[in-house]
Amino acid sequence: MKTIQILGTGCPKCRQLFANAEEAVRTLGLEAEVAKVERLPDIVKFGVMVTPALAVDGVVKSAGKVLDASEIGELVNA
């Protein structure tokens, strides 16, 4: 099972990306867990300077934009 991590401090775009990730898991049948990373020191450890960001199993796949469910599915399955 993969882990999808949403990196962000809780802004509206971060919350939307989290919701889209949950939708991707649900509707696309992905075997993944969605987790939030909201503490700034933890986000910086990923090397991310713009949020929201999405990481899959600890590897940043996207930063600075809100991906839709299908885009998230492509990144998780890549």
Non-local (6+) Cβ contacts of 24 within 8 A are 4, 30, 69, 70, 72, 73, 76
The catalytic residues are 11, 14
* C-alpha closest to that of 22 among 10, 11, 36, 9: 36
pLDDT digits (tens, 9 = 90+) for 24-45: 999 999 889 999 999 999 999 9
* pLDDT confidence band for 4 (50 / 70 / 90): very high
Residue 5 has pLDDT above 90, yes or no: yes
Orientation of helix 69-77 relative to helix 12-28, angle to 10°: 70
Q: Which CATH superfamily, name and number, covers 2-77?
A: Glutaredoxin (3.40.30.10)
Domain ranges of the chain: 2-77
> What is the C-alpha separation between 38 and 7, in angstroms, rounded?
6
pLDDT grade for 78, boundaries at 50, 70 and 90: confident
